[in-house]
Amino acid sequence: MVEEGSNVLPGTDPARIVAEARKLLRGAGRQGRRPHLWDGKAAQRIVAVLAGELART
């Protein structure tokens, strides 16, 4: 469950995925607040960790 921010985890049900995408496209997506300590750079940190792990193998 996502408790902060605006992300939604629709699961693997195609109908739910499409429904959530349609909500976003019509501007009715989840409105959340910016999570504590959010800096917008999580993806870069994840890639750095994965690249480091791949380099070790």
Domain assignment present for residue 3? The answer is no
pLDDT of 57: 78
Contact 20, 10 (CB under 8 A): yes
Residue of 32 and 47 predicted with greater confidence? 47
- Full-model pTM: 0.55
Domain assignment present for residue 4? The answer is no
Domain assignment present for residue 6? The answer is no
Mean pLDDT, the chain, integer: 90
Domain assignment present for residue 31? The answer is yes
- Which range marks the domain in which residue 19 is found? 14-56
Domain assignment present for residue 48? The answer is yes
The residue-averaged pLDDT of 3-17 equals: 89
Q: Which among 1-10, 29-38, 40-49 has the top mean pLDDT?
A: 40-49
